[in-house]
Amino acid sequence: MFKLFSSIFGLPDKEQGTAIPESLLKAAIERALDGTDPRMRILPGYAKTLREPVIHAIEHVIAMVDALPPAVPASKEGRDTSAVLGAVFTSTPRMKQILDSDSTLREYLSSAADESGCTTGLLVVERNEKRGFGYAVVDDQLMNDVQQVTVSFDEHRLVDLSTNEEETRRLLRRRAFDYLLSIALAHVTEQQDEREKLTQQRALLRVKLDILQKGGSGFSRDMGVQDRAALQTRLEEVETQLAALGPVHEVLQNNLAIVATVLGDAEKHFWGEEKNLRLDQHYALHNDGDTAVPAIPFRDVCDSNGRRITLLLLSIALSSTTPSGQ
C-alpha cells in the first residue's frame, strides 16, 4: 500500500495534469485514515467523503513542490551564483562544515553505492529576525548605534536525499501530504482532549454538587447556597460545551469531517510563498525601497500554526563531503 501511495507523487511531469488513477486515489484515501484515525473505516461512505478533499490536497502539494526552483550545487560556484545559497551559509567553509555534520547526509553516504556521484536533497533552514543596533550608512555617513533588523539562518538540515532531483521532488510531495495529515490529526486530537477534559470536569462538578446537596463542606448556610449556584452554573456550561462536540457515538463522524475539512482547505493550513528580502553583507534587513541592496527571493513554506521555514533544493557532490567522525 505504501509503494502504491508513493507512486501518486511519482507521475512524470507530462502526466501531472491528468486524472489520478482510481487505484492510487484509493491508496491516498487509506493513507489519510492511517495517518489520522483508522477506526473511521467502519463508517459507511468514508471514501466518498474524503475523495474530493484528498484530490484537492494532492494537487495542492504537487503545486507546492513544483514551485521550488531547480537544485543549486552546494559548492563555492553555487554560492557565487545563487544569492539564496550565499545567504543561508555565511561562507563556503561554513557550508561544508554544516553539510559534513548533517546526520541525514552521513546516513545516505553510508549506504551510497557510488560515492563519486551526486545526491539531491532539500535544505530546510530556520530564518530568524532580531532587532538591535549596528552600523549603517546614513546620508553618506557611516553611523553607529543605528536601529536595524538582522537576519540569521539556523538549524540547517537535509531531508529526502536521493540520486536525482525528480525523485527528491516525489519524496517531498509525499512528505507535504503527510504533513497535512499531521495537521488534521492535531485537530482531531485537540477535540478528543477537549472532550476528555470536559467529561472529567463534569464528573467532578457532579460530585461536588452532590456533597453540597447532602449538607457537606462549609460552616455557612449562605456559602453553601452560593457554592451550589456557582457549581450548577458551571456544570450547565460544561454540558453545553460537551453537547456542541456531539454525542460520543458521533466522534468518528466528527473526526472524518475534520480530516475532510483540513484536506479540502489544504492551502489554508500549509502553503508556500516567495519572500523577497534585501540583505546586505552584514545580514542587516533593508526596506523594499532601498534598491541599492538587491532583493533575494527566498522560498518559504508556512503553516496555520504560524511556523515559517526556508527551503532550498541542493545538489551535493558526494566526493566533496567529509562526514564528521570519519
**Residue 164 has what pLDDT?**
93
Q: Is the Cα dihedral 25, 28, 34, 38 positive or negative?
A: negative
Secondary structure class of 163 (helix, strand, coil): coil
- The residues facing 124 across adjacent strands are 157, 311
Residue 93 lies in a domain: yes
Residue 100, Ramachandran bin (φ over 0: left; ψ between -120 and 50: alpha; else beta): alpha
> What is the radius of gyration, based on Cα positions, of the chain?
27
Task: Answer for the pair 242, 198: CB distance below 8 angstroms, yes or no.
Answer: yes
**Residue 86 has what pLDDT?**
95
Cα(56)–Cα(246) distance, integer angstroms: 27
Residue 264 lies in a domain: no
**Residue 6 has what pLDDT?**
56
**Residue 103 has what pLDDT?**
94
Cα(56)–Cα(281) distance, integer angstroms: 42
**Residue 167 has what pLDDT?**
95
Residue 191 lies in a domain: no
Cα(211)–Cα(228) distance, integer angstroms: 10
Residue 254: what residue type? N
Cα(311)–Cα(122) distance, integer angstroms: 7
Cα(244)–Cα(247) distance, integer angstroms: 9
Q: Quote the domain boundaries for residue 82.
A: 72-163+270-320
Q: What are the DSSP calls for 244-264, one per residue?
A: HH--GGGHHHHHHHHHHHHHH
- Give the number of domains in the chain: 1
Residue 319: closest CA among 39, 108, 117, 161: 117
Residue 241 lies in a domain: no
Cα(315)–Cα(69) distance, integer angstroms: 12
Residue 207 lies in a domain: no
Query: From the first residue on, what is the mean pLDDT of each consecutive set of 10 residues in the chain (326 residues)?
Result: 53 52 91 94 95 96 95 94 95 94 92 78 95 67 73 96 95 95 93 78 76 56 62 81 74 93 97 94 87 93 94 92 60
Task: Answer for the pair 3, 170: CB distance below 8 angstroms, yes or no.
Answer: no
Residue 166: closest CA among 256, 24, 68: 68
Q: Are strands 308-317 and 72-73 parallel, antiparallel or unpaired?
A: parallel
Task: Answer for the pair 100, 323: CB distance below 8 angstroms, yes or no.
Answer: yes
**Residue 140 has what pLDDT?**
63
The Cβ of residue 118 has, within 10 Å, a number of other Cβ atoms equal to: 18
Alpha helix (H) residue ranges in the chain: 2-6, 22-34, 46-66, 76-81, 83-88, 92-100, 103-111, 165-213, 221-245, 251-264, 266-269
**Residue 154 has what pLDDT?**
95
Residue 212 lies in a domain: no
Who's near 120: CB < 8 A, 6+ residues apart?
71, 161, 162, 163, 164, 165, 167, 168, 313, 314, 315, 316
Residue 43 lies in a domain: no
Residue 37 lies in a domain: no
**Residue 61 has what pLDDT?**
95
